[in-house]
């Protein structure tokens, strides 16, 4: 059944929600052939990643409280997520280009966004980013960066999945372009206020 925005809720990924996350990953071929949403975690990917190694490493990281990730639920079923964290936790895309014009590090980065293949086009990614921004606000807020892909002016991408999200998704939350780091990729930024003040 199609997902409706009203039905969506979010929870953090931790040991109590691991099985829900794992079920979604397994239903989607390990995510990009076995990533298990590990590839953007600093120091976790390793030289010879395999799906099983990635699963175990991700589960260990979750069990140690080393993951910031919002899961999106439709009822009791996990249908997507948004990964986020500090620069010490989350890698950027296009790191060489990112470093060339770096003026200041953000307080937070949004890593990958994923929606299960049967639930796309129904607001899951939007709910995931909204949930991540709420968690960032609850943690004290600060400068948040995302690294989405530009769609305007770009040839159609048949079958493409933007795992860092499309630019329009972040623009809808008030993120603005800071600088380009690849032909179709931007650093976008948003200042998020602490929860007591409400977020931007």
pLDDT < 50 regions, the chain:
1-4, 159, 198-199
Q: Quick check: 127 and 5 in contact, CB under 8 A?
A: yes
pLDDT at position 79 is: 97
Q: Rounded to whole angstroms, how far apart are CA atoms 13 and 71?
A: 6
Does the reported pTM lie above 0.85? Answer: yes
pLDDT at position 133 is: 98
CATH number of domain containing 72: 3.40.630.30
What is the residue whose two structure tokens read 């990009």?
Answer: 32
Percent of the residues in the chain that have a pLDDT greater than 90, as a whole number: 68
| Nearby residues of 127 by Cβ (< 8 Å), 6 or more positions away | 5, 8, 10, 72, 80
Total domains present in the chain: 1
pLDDT tens by residue, 168-187: 999 999 999 999 999 989 99
Averaged confidence pLDDT in the chain? 89
pLDDT at position 153 is: 79
pLDDT at position 125 is: 95
pLDDT at position 156 is: 66
Q: Rounded to whole angstroms, how far apart are CA atoms 28 and 168?
A: 25
Q: Give residue 112's domain range.
A: 5-197
């Amino acid at each position: 059944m199609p997902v409706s925005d009203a039905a969506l809720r979010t929870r953090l990924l931790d040991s109590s929600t691991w099985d829900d996350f794992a079920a979604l990953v397994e239903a989607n071929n390990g995510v990009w052939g076995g990533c298990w949403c590990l590839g953007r975690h600093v120091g976790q990917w390793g030289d010879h990643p395999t799906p099983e190694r990635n699963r175990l490493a991700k589960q260990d990281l979750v069990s140690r409280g080393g993951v910031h990730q919002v899961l999106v639920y439709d009822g009791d079923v996990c249908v997507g997520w948004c990964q986020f964290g500090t620069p010490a936790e989350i890698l950027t895309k296009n790191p060489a280009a990112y470093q060339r014009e770096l003026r200041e590090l953000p307080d937070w980065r949004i890593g990958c966004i994923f929606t299960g293949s049967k639930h796309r086009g129904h607001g899951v990614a939007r709910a995931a980013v909204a949930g991540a921004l709420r968690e960032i606000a609850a943690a004290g807020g600060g400068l948040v960066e995302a690294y989405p892909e530009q769609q305007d002016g770009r040839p159609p991408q048949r079958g493409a999945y933007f795992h860092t999200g499309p630019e329009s998704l972040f623009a809808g939350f008030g993120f603005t372009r800071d600088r380009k780091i690849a032909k179709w990729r931007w650093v976008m930024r948003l200042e998020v206020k602490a929860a007591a003040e409400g977020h931007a």
